[in-house]
Amino acid sequence: MIAAIPSLRAFAVSLSGNADRADDLVQETLVKAWSHLSSFQAGTNLSAWLFTILRNVYYSEYRKRRREVADSDGAFAAQLAQPAAQNDHMDFLDFTAAMQKLPPDQREAIILVGASGLSYEEAAAVCSCAVGTMKSRVNRGRNRLAELLATSPAAAKIIAKAG
């Protein structure tokens, strides 16, 4: 289970957009996973199983916190080291803010498939949805992100260059 912690944290941070909250999510996930170890099928993907638990924890909290203001001021993004090589392409703060504006089902879809490296089938299993639904969420999420980012000055530059 130790080996799965880094990817669990990465998923939690990407999903919640908040590093402190992410670690609380991971903590709760580990406790829950431990008490439900018997329901884990040996030989299957442990990370995927833990992702499933983490998103359940996240969504039960998400419902409670729905009225709270999202971290749109870039406080989270500022905690992360800004990758120097990316500066000329897309504003890092814009990106993390845009991620948090996505509907959660689309956000988790593009994280699982685009960053965690899960197959559509694995991602669909984590989210207990059909594979086709997962593909659709990934595509809608990416298109929506592109729309959101197209309004930022950095992205406008890219479009001007590409056009």
Partner 1 sequence: MSSMTEIEKPKMTKKADKESGIRVVDNRSVAKGQPQQSEIQVQIGRQLRTVYDDVLNQPIPDRFMELLQKLDTPKK
The residues of the shown chain that bind partner 1, judged by CB under 8 A, are 1-2, 5-7, 9-11, 13-14, 19, 22-23, 26-27, 30-32, 34, 36, 39, 53, 55-57, 59-60, 80-81, 83, 86, 89-90, 92, 95-96, 99, 105, 110-111, 113-116, 119-120, 127-130, 132-133, 135-136, 138-139, 142, 145-146, 149-150, 155, 158-159, 161-163
Tell me the C-alpha distance between 148 and 93, whole Å.
Answer: 12
Of 48 and 113, nearer to partner 1 (C-beta) is 113
Closest distance to partner 1 from the beta carbon of 15 (Å) = 10
Decide: 46 and 40 in contact? Cβ < 8 Å: yes
What is each CA distance from 133 to 8, 74, 115, in whole angstroms?
A: 23, 31, 18
Of 53 and 67, nearer to partner 1 (C-beta) is 53
Of 43 and 163, nearer to partner 1 (C-beta) is 163
| Nearest to 77, CA basis, from 24, 13, 23, 26 | 13
One-letter identity of residue 159: I
Place of tokens 């089938």: 121
What is each CA distance from 58 to 6, 48, 52, 89, 95, in whole angstroms?
A: 17, 15, 10, 31, 21
Closest distance to partner 1 from the beta carbon of 145 (Å) = 5
Closest distance to partner 1 from the beta carbon of 69 (Å) = 21
